[in-house]
Chain A
């Protein structure tokens, strides 16, 4: 079946630094990738939608200059959390679709100290 590889699975960083999360579709071409964030006991909240080669579309309330998304190829999307703060600590999950189904990465648990 379709597999999406997400790295790193866990990261601890200092406040003010930047963290890059990578999401790669291994055996299919993802026409669209999505980035979600999940706080404890909350639902997965969509942050942004990205299509290969074009700018990401951000959901209301999500700062595009803080959460940089790059979708350079049909198999790779990255999310960079810039100048991270403790309130950015969360579970970040990517999802990729080839318009037939949705496949999720295994998630990245970010802790900003």
Chain B
């Protein structure tokens, strides 16, 4: 079983749509959680951290359920520029450990 699992998609939505991505992680020692965005042939860029209480950044809302080992990302009012691959990422508690990436979910927003 992979450490971080995501539905690869693709999700094809019109502008203005709301879309949700899910992610599960297998290692309960995971301590920190993030969503990254990766554009084609580019490095991943941090979109937002994910906290147990849930957090929002503009049109983006992230949720974490530690009991279910489940992370979600909600994008409201999708823009064309949101088209990218969204990577679910976890990190263990020890300092200096690597980020563990999911395979990513591809989003395509069309006009």
Contact = CB atoms under 8 A, between A and B. Distances in A.
Interface of A: 31-32, 34, 36, 41-46, 49, 51, 91, 93, 95, 97, 99, 102, 104-107, 109
Nearest to B100: A46
Interface residues of B, number: 19
Contacts of B96: 31-32, 49, 51, 97, 99
Contacts of B46: 102
Contacts of A43: 4, 87, 101-104
A34 B44 CA distance: 14
Interface SS of chain B: loop
Contact of A91 (B4, B8, B41, B102): B41
Q: Among B8, B44, B87, B104, which residue has the most Cβ atoms of chain A within 10 A?
A: B44
Interface in B59-111: 87, 95-104
Nearest to A32: B96
A43 B98 CA distance: 14
Contacts of B57: none
**Which 3 pairs between the two chains have the least Cβ-Cβ distance?**
A43-B103, A104-B43, A44-B101
Contacts of A95: 98-99
B1 interface: no
A16 B27 CA distance: 39
Nearest to A6: B43
